[in-house]
Chains A and B, each alone.
Chain A
Amino acid sequence: MSTRVAGALIGVVFGVVLSWSGMTSPEVIREGLLFQSSYLFLFFFGAVSTAFVGLRLLKRKAPPALLTGETVQWETVKPERRHVAGSLIFGIGWGISGACPGPIATQLGQGIVWGVPLTVGLVLGILLFGRMQSRAHARPARRAPAKSPVVPSPRAADATA
């Protein structure tokens, strides 16, 4: 099986689960963020703890990846200003719309027309980031930056995207 087929299959499972659990619905997200329902937090807890246990087992064994053969391993990332700044911007959009990148894709799949303006905005945001990134790194640095840049270099972004 190619990595593309595997990626697509994982996407289908992810999409069905997101839809079936109601994560596609802005009302479910809103009830969670208003603490009117515990579902969002329990769902998130269930997902992270399962992934945590699975990744621990993988890290301990460090087997070759089943499809690519490379050793399964990863580096962790230290917090920088961009993680806070970016998540603040994202949090505003998430709080108002109750949507994030995964559910926007499943909204499109379910034929929810409101997913279209969200998608257009999302794509514009990605393009805007690319433009900010090339501008920030085309400009010669006058002096060494004292703080970590809010817009990461292309290589740093690739490592964590």
Chain B
Amino acid sequence: MLHSQLPWWIGGPALGLCVVAMRWLMNERLGVMGAWSDIVENVSARRLSFGPFGWMLIGLVVGGAVFGLIAGGPDFHGYGWLTATFSGTGGTIIVAAILLGCGLLIGLGTKIAGGCTSGNGLSGNAMVSPASLVATATFFATGIVVTLITEALI
């Protein structure tokens, strides 16, 4: 059952309710980038105590693990078009390097923009924050264009 994709009209609203819960319980804007930052900033200050956002990130990892254990592992192998394009030992190194670069762009870009797909995309748009509407339009448009370019190149 867990290997069939959750219908969007259940999964979507469930995420939306997480945003509402965060606001109602502690008046905070749910954002996963804020959660990563909480961990990174505390660890680099040599502290191992996290706020609610750091604990949310730990919860996310646990949630992924719980799903993986119940569903018997992830339902995909390799890493999409990247491992399909770059195969073999050399390919593994190339894909890892590309993903490292992508992680850097994702971390830096979302910090500059003050939010990611959850902070700006979900929470900010639901708050009808103009900055989040602009940010979401920008990353969706960029994501679509970049995906189309890579699709045309391979």
Contact = CB atoms under 8 A, between A and B. Distances in A.
Is B truly associated with A? yes
Interface of A: 3-22, 24-28, 30, 33-34, 39, 42-52, 54-55, 58, 63, 65-68, 70-74, 76-80, 82-102, 104-112, 114, 117-130, 150-152, 156-157, 160-161
B137 to A, nearest CB: 8
Interface string B121-153: 111111111111111101111111111111100
Contact of B101 (A71, A110, A112, A121): A121
A118 B103 contact: yes
Contacts, number: 485
Interface residues of B, number: 118
Contacts of A3: 25-26, 51-52
Contact of A93 (B6, B20, B57, B106): B106
A96 B108 contact: no
Interface in B1-29: 2, 5-6, 8-9, 11-27, 29
Given A22-B75, A87-B142, A92-B142, A46 B63 contact: no
B126 A48 contact: yes
24 contacts: A11-B63, A14-B18, A14-B32, A21-B12, A22-B75, A44-B121, A51-B126, A65-B26, A87-B138, A87-B142, A89-B113, A91-B139, A91-B143, A100-B110, A106-B63, A106-B64, A109-B61, A114-B95, A123-B36, A125-B108, A126-B37, A130-B41, A161-B33, A161-B111
